[in-house]
Structure formats: structure tokens, C-alpha cells
A and B are shown apart, each in its own frame.
Chain A
Amino acid sequence: MKREWISGYLFILPSLVLLAVLLFYPLVLTFIYSLSDMSLTATRYLGINAYQRLLASPMLARVLTNSLLWTVLVIIFQFILGLSSAILLNRSFFGRTLVRGIVILPWVMPGVVAAMVWRLLYDPQLGMINHYLRTLGIIDRPLTWLSLPGLALYAVIIAAIWKGFPFSTLMYLAGLQTVPVELYEASEIDGAGDWGKFFHVTLPSMRSIITITLLLTFIWTFNYFELVYVMTGGGPAESSHIFPTYIYDLGFRRFRFGEASRFAVIDFIILLVFSLIYVRLSLKRGSME
């Protein structure tokens, strides 16, 4: 038994060392940096005053609101689109295997490439979106989607939904295949219609996979950097920054490492707290059934 312990520790040691050195140690450093006004040249320790300064910064509220808006809208629409397309692709129709393969493509497309293509789509002159909207008479002159303060973030949100929803489709498609057929038959005997079956059989059976998928898409979306960065650069007038882009901007365009670290600490705490509450709640609900 003791031998198995030792080999167990030896087997997992390399990954734990990497984790400690590359993730946990830097995270501790981020906390330490966040208490100073570190820049490229000088470092002055500020202590807890640093955070008083942060709370006074108007950018904190903006980045926070943007990040939440961005994450919530993206995961809600990815959930709706993912689940409905999974149900659709679970039906039998001609060419289903091909269509399933096609639907994954946006998720496989590298993020920077997707961002470039959507920049082209939104282009005021060359973009297809403006062209079609004008042809349909919805707008009368081209919109500069990515350089209007109220619009830019929403434009990127649409791109992010397109880019990421196939992952949800994949997960839900796998989940649908685990729903026991007998349950559908039983509820049919009970006289349930399509919607009844959906709410009383499909959704409850897929609860655990929905829980996990929402958590994963939440984390990935909250941390997603390249789409916003490449499409708007956080602009116009810093109106579309979310946490990752603003941290990068502070750190490596203005070299304000201290302030960047403070935003990073807030970013980390939000993710941690949200995820812990979410896992707690879903475990509790799971154990009651």
C-alpha cells in the first residue's frame, strides 16, 4: 500500500510542480505587486491605500459592468443557441453527420482569425453586414459598428456568441444521447406534448451537463482576451474594455504594473467567488433530488 502511495505522488509530481511554479507562485506575486505602484522603472509600496485608489478609479466600475454584460449575454445566448441546435442535430435528417461537423467549425477557428473576419464583416464600406442591412432597408447609411461607444461591445458580443456556441452544442448533443428513451415513452403515455417532454424529461436529465457547460463557458468567456482586443482594442474611448483587455492595456501599453495587478486581483476574486457560489448551489440542488 505504501509503495502505491509513493508511486502515486511520483506520478503526479511533475504536473503539481509546474502548477505551483507557473500559476500559484505568479498569483502570489500579483497580490504583492498590487500593493505598490510598480512601473518599469520604480516601485513604491503603497499598502492598502493602493486599493483605495483603485476604488476611486472610474475605470473599475466600467470594466466591471462591461465584463458582466459581456459574460452574461454571451453565455445566455450560447446556452439557448447551443441547446436548440443540439436538439435539432439530434433529430434524424439527410446529411446529419456532415452538418454536425460543419457546426463545430467556428469553435475550431483560431480566435484571432475569427476576430479579423468579424472586423471585415462589420466594416462600414466592405462589410457584408452593413450591405445587407441597407439592402433590407433597416439602416439608411453604413454603421461604424466597432467605433461607436454604445455599440462596439455588443458587436463583439455577437461575434463571441458565434465563435463559442458550438462547444455548448457538442456538450448538449452528448447529453441528449444519455437521456433514457423509456422516460420519453413514459411521459408520452402520460399525454405529454413536445414541450412537456422537453421540460419534464430532457432538461432534468441533462442537468449535470448543463451545469458544467455553463460553468466552463462562464470561465472561458470572462477570461476571453483576443476577440475584444483585436476587434476594438477596448475602444472607442476605452468604452469596451473587459478585465483581460484592460489588464493587458495597463500592464503592457502603459507599463503600470501595480495598477494592472490590482485589476488582476479583482478579476481573480470575482471568478473564484462566482464559481464557488455556483458550484455550492448546484451541489446543493443536486443532493436534494
Chain B
Amino acid sequence: MMRAIETRKKVVTGIFVVLLVAFVLFPFAVMISMSLKEPDEQFTVPPRLIPQRPTVVNYFHVFGRGSMFARYFLNSFLVAGSTTLVVVAVAIFSSYGFARLYFPGRMGFFTLLLLSQLFPLAAIIVPLYRIMSRVGLIDSFLSLIIAYLAFSVPVGVWLLRGFFTGIPRDLEEAALIDGCTRWQAFWKVVLPLVRPGIGATASYVFFITWQEFMFALTFITSAEKRTLPRGIFDFVGQYETIWGNLMAASVLICVPVFVIFLFVQRHLVGGLTEGAVKG
């Protein structure tokens, strides 16, 4: 009797797991399948999920003559990478300050930082655009990097602070007793321990800036400076979309963030959930 119930529970679990995985993977399957279809087959009606003669020719087309996709890839790496470096540099200090140092107004400033999560970016895009054009930065990578700092610095500080609070305070105190200055305790003792947290924070910032679309659409006007989320529209035709190329490009855009995520998943998920619980 007990065993029958156990078995039934297992079967039910199995069925739901399969349903969940199917729901999650179906759009991925469609994306990959279309990216592997030959040009003729891409427009076959009704569509087939499994390509009849799979080919990687679309992936070559994406980088083919007249395509600036490789350029967009480089641009995206440049913009997301630079933003990540700046955010990490700023966040290391601020999050340590918020996690460990006592000063009047600490909670108030931290609340202000959290409050910035509320900011609809659409609400500041008009003034930022006007400021950028006044100082002549429109259509430059720098304008994107600066705009990205607006939303990624608060997230970075918030995430990294969670990792700092996870380090036992005794370690620092022991270092201080041993004659370290506060700065040495921070630089030599705490910072090395929080390295996985820095990796996770950097990955998250890279992840959100890699896919940023609204500022990329607004601030960049010349084609050769586009980043990927804007550049992918090259494959959307005015009258007819070349779906095979578009989906091959989509797969390629996913690859870097999926690879990064694979490596930092555990730390990142821990940081996100813990940061949220501790507020």
C-alpha cells in the first residue's frame, strides 16, 4: 500500500518534470531547429520541428560578406566588458563600506541605493539623451557605458554586499589585532575571500549589459557602432525576414552568457537569493 503510493508519487513527479522541461525548452528547440534549416526548408508550411537536412550554412551567412555581425559582437564585448570593470571597481569599495564600516547615515544611503532599483529607466532616458548630445557623446560607446553604470552600479553594490556580510567578522578583527591597518585587513584578508562573489557580481553585470536594448537603440546612430541586441535587426527585413540567419545569430548571442552562467551559476544564485533575503 505504502509502496503503491510512493510509486504513484514518483510517476506524477516524472510527468510534471517532463512537462516543465518541454515548456522551457520548446522555444529553444524552435530557435535551434530554424537555425539549422536549409534556405528552402525555412519557408515550408507547415513548419517541421526537426530539420530534414540539417546544415550550418546559416551560421556562415551570419558572418558572411556585407554582414557586420562580427563587428557587433566585438562592440558588445567592449561595452559590456568595460561597464563590468568599472562597476566591479566601484562596487568593491562601496559594498565593503556598507557591509562593514559604521558611519552615520549608513542605512539611509543604503536604502537610497535600493530605491534606485525602482527607477524606470524609461523615465530618465530623455534627459540622459539630451545630456549626452550636449557633451557630444551621442553615438559613442562611452555614452552607453555611462548610461549602463546608472542601473548596474546599484545592483553590483547590493549583490556584492551580500558576499561581504557572509565573511566572518572575526577574520578581520584577528588581522587588526595582529597589527594590520583597516585598509590592509580589507585588501589582504577580506578581498581574497570574497573573490567568488566578485566573479558572480561581474558576471551578472556583464549579463545585464550584454543584452541591454533601450539605450543601445537610442544612443547609437551609426551602423558600425551597434551592439548585438540592436545589430540583430539587420536580419529582420522590411518585407521578409530571413529566419534561418536571424535564429543562427540569436543562438550565437546566447552562447557567451550561457557559458558564463554555467561557471558562476552556484555563486550567482546564492548571491541573488541571499542578497534578497537579507535586504
A226 in contact with B24 (CB, 8 Å): no
When distances are taken between beta carbons in the complex, the residues of chain B under 8 Å from A69 are: none
Binding site for A on B (CB under 8 A): 10, 13-14, 16-17, 20-21, 23-28, 30-31, 34, 42-43, 45-47, 49, 90-91, 93-94, 96-98, 101-104, 106, 109, 112-113, 116-131, 146-147, 149-150, 153-154, 157, 182-183, 207, 210-211, 213-214, 217-218, 228-229, 232, 236, 243, 246-247, 250, 253-254, 257-258, 261-262, 265, 269-270, 272-274, 276-277, 279
Determine, out of A46-54, A98-106, A145-153, A184-192, the stretch whose residues face the partner at the interface.
A98-106
Are the C-beta atoms of A271 and B118 separated by less than 8 Å? yes
* Residues of B contacting A: mostly: helix
Q: Is the CB of A88 within 8 A of B261?
A: no
A201-229 CB mask vs B (1 if < 8 Å, else 0) is: 00000001100110010010011011001
A27 near B119 with CB under 8 A, answer yes
Check if B120 sits within 8 Å of A244, measured CB to CB: yes
Question: A residues bordering B, Cβ < 8 Å?
Answer: 1, 3-12, 14-16, 18-19, 22-23, 25-27, 29-30, 33, 85, 88-89, 91, 93, 99, 101-106, 108-114, 116-118, 120-121, 125-128, 131, 134-135, 162, 166, 170-171, 174-175, 208-209, 212-213, 216, 219, 222-223, 225-226, 229-230, 243-244, 247-248, 251-252, 257, 260-261, 264-265, 267-268, 271-272, 275
- A91 and B98 CA atoms in complex are apart in Å by 37
Question: Looking across the interface, which residue of chain B has its beta carbon closest to that of A3?
Answer: B182
Contacts of B157 in A (CB 8 A): 15
When distances are taken between beta carbons in the complex, the residues of chain A under 8 Å from B104 are 5
Q: Write the chain B residue with the least CB distance to A209.
A: B277
CA distance A18 to B261 in the complex (A): 27
- How far is A209 from B276 in the complex, measured between Cα atoms in Å? 7
Are the CB atoms of A11 and B123 closer together than 8 Å? no
Q: A99 to chain B: which residues have CB within 8 Å?
A: 17, 20-21
- Given A223-B122, A226-B214, A104 and B277 contact (CB-CB distance below 8 Å): no
Taking A85-B20, A108-B261 as contacts, is the C-beta distance between A174 and B253 under 8 angstroms? no
A-B contacts, CB under 8 A, total: 264
Q: Which of B13, B103, B150, B243 contacts A126 (CB under 8 A)?
A: B243
Known: A101-B265, A112-B229, A209-B273. A12 touches B98 (CB 8 A): yes
Given that A110-B211, A252-B218 are known contacts, is A5 also in contact with B102, CB under 8 Å in the complex?
yes
A interface, over-half SS: helix
- Nearest-Cβ distance from residue B109 to partner chain A, whole angstroms: 6
Q: Given the complex of chains A and B, what is the CA–CA distance between A12 and B154 in angstroms?
A: 11
Partner of A251, one of B23, B126, B274: B126
A126 vs B141: C-alpha distance when bound (angstroms) = 37
Please give me the residue from chain B that is nearest to A142 by CB atom.
B45
The minimal Cβ–Cβ distance linking B202 to chain A, given in whole angstroms, is 16
Known: A1-B102, A113-B31. 6 other contacts (CB 8 A): A10-B93, A29-B126, A103-B21, A116-B232, A257-B130, A264-B122
Residues of chain A within 8 A (CB-CB) of B91 are 15
Contacts of B31 in A (CB 8 A): 113, 117, 120
Complex A-B: 27 CB contacts under 8 Å = A3-B182, A4-B103, A8-B97, A11-B96, A15-B90, A19-B112, A26-B124, A27-B119, A30-B123, A30-B124, A85-B20, A93-B13, A106-B27, A108-B261, A112-B211, A120-B34, A126-B47, A128-B49, A170-B269, A170-B272, A171-B276, A226-B229, A244-B121, A247-B122, A252-B129, A257-B126, A265-B123
